[in-house]
Amino acid sequence: MRNIFDLTKEELEAYFLEIGEKKFKATQVYEWLYQKKERDINNFSNLKKEIRERLLQDFTTFFIKIEKKQEDKLVKKYLFRLYDNNFIEAVLMEHDYGLSICVSSEVGCNMGCSFCESGRQKKVRNLEAYEIVEEILAIEEDLKTRIKSVVIMGIGEPLDNYDNIIRFIKIINDAKGLQIGARHITLSTCGIVPKIYELAKLPLQINLAISLHAPNDELRNKLMPVNKVYNIGVLKQAIRDYLSVTGRRVTIEYVMLEYINDSEKEAHELIELFKGMNIYVNLIPYNETNHLEFKRSSKKRLMNFYNILKTCGLNTTIRKEFGGNIDAACGQLRGSMNEK
């Protein structure tokens, strides 16, 4: 039985037409689910009893459970238990512009990036669209507030779960859904090139971020196995084509690993790689974990790297740090729960 939070409004409209009802009923259901935040179909009072009974017969409303919550200044990290007793994480961050949530897209991850705690835990399965939607709904319910910005950058590779991610985006972006504007939705990928081309063709205005983390193939092959399939040259061309088709600026994510990818040499290689392209580089201070030997770049090396990029005209920011006093690394909270 399909979860009702898994349906786009168009799919729900098709369902109502199929059972001989007017398609505007889909809008009414969406308003109950996403604006009135009502999960009990029995309480959808503007739908006649026969329709409510049919919905209860055809759909489940199972909801993910908050298993644990950690809090630090301007950040809350949630561990969720799924219907099959797997665990995922989401992180809520308070910015000047409002609340932003970083959601997971898979249970585990098969990309195997050597510096990533999530990659240490192999992929169990894709998340269904409704499970990703419910990460947002559960946190909104917990805090009694609305989330206006979403980053698909938690556990998992979003483009490895492409169909469910696109459904998720349509649901949260819908004017009768969670009403999160497309330009407040960011999808982060390690570089699944064929899916980047597919994404470019869709009528979406979301933000695309590329987890690069190395400016040459030799280093990126060591850090990110995906580079052996889609190397930097192939990825760069996909970024060029995405820029051409969408006209949307692309973010290049670059985690700063001390004495690994943070020298002046790598800075100049990064400049050469992206000069003249409509991108900006987001330098990310590394969250260290007990399981991996990588260390974060010192402030001196980070600032030197940043200054080289800026001086040479590359648009660059340093990501604000969150969660220094909790299990900040992506996958760290889930990993500790699984080990228990």
Give the CATH superfamily of 65-339: Aldolase class I (3.20.20.70)
Contacts of 163 (CB under 8 A, 6+ apart): none
pLDDT in tens, 276-331: 999 999 999 998 887 688 999 999 999 999 999 999 999 999 998 765 555 554 54
Do 2-60 and 65-339 have matching folds? no
Q: Would you call 262 exposed, middle or buried from its count of C-beta atoms within 10 A (0-12, 13-18, 19+)? A: buried
* Cα–Cα distance measured from residue 164 to residue 178, given in angstroms and rounded to the nearest whole number: 17
Give me the catalytic one of 21, 67, 89, 218.
89
Q: Is 118's pLDDT higher than 60?
A: yes
pLDDT surpassing 70 at residue 334? no
Q: How many CA atoms lie within 13 A of 187 on its CB side?
A: 25
- Give the gyration radius of the chain's Cα atoms: 21
Answer yes or no: 330 catalytic: yes
Q: What is 2-60's CATH number?
A: 1.10.150.530
Catalytic residue among 116, 135, 330, 339: 330
Geometric angle at alpha carbon 309, from 307 and 310, rounded to 5°: 65
Q: What is the pLDDT of residues 250-277, one digit of tens each?
A: 999 999 999 999 999 999 999 999 999 9
CB atoms within 10 A of CB 226: 23
pLDDT per residue as tens digits for the range 6-27: 999 999 999 999 999 999 999 9
Q: Tell me the two tokens of residue 4.
A: 């009702």
Enumerate the domain spans of the chain: 2-60, 65-339
Compute the distance between CA of residue 161 and CA of residue 169 in angstroms, rounded to an integer.
12
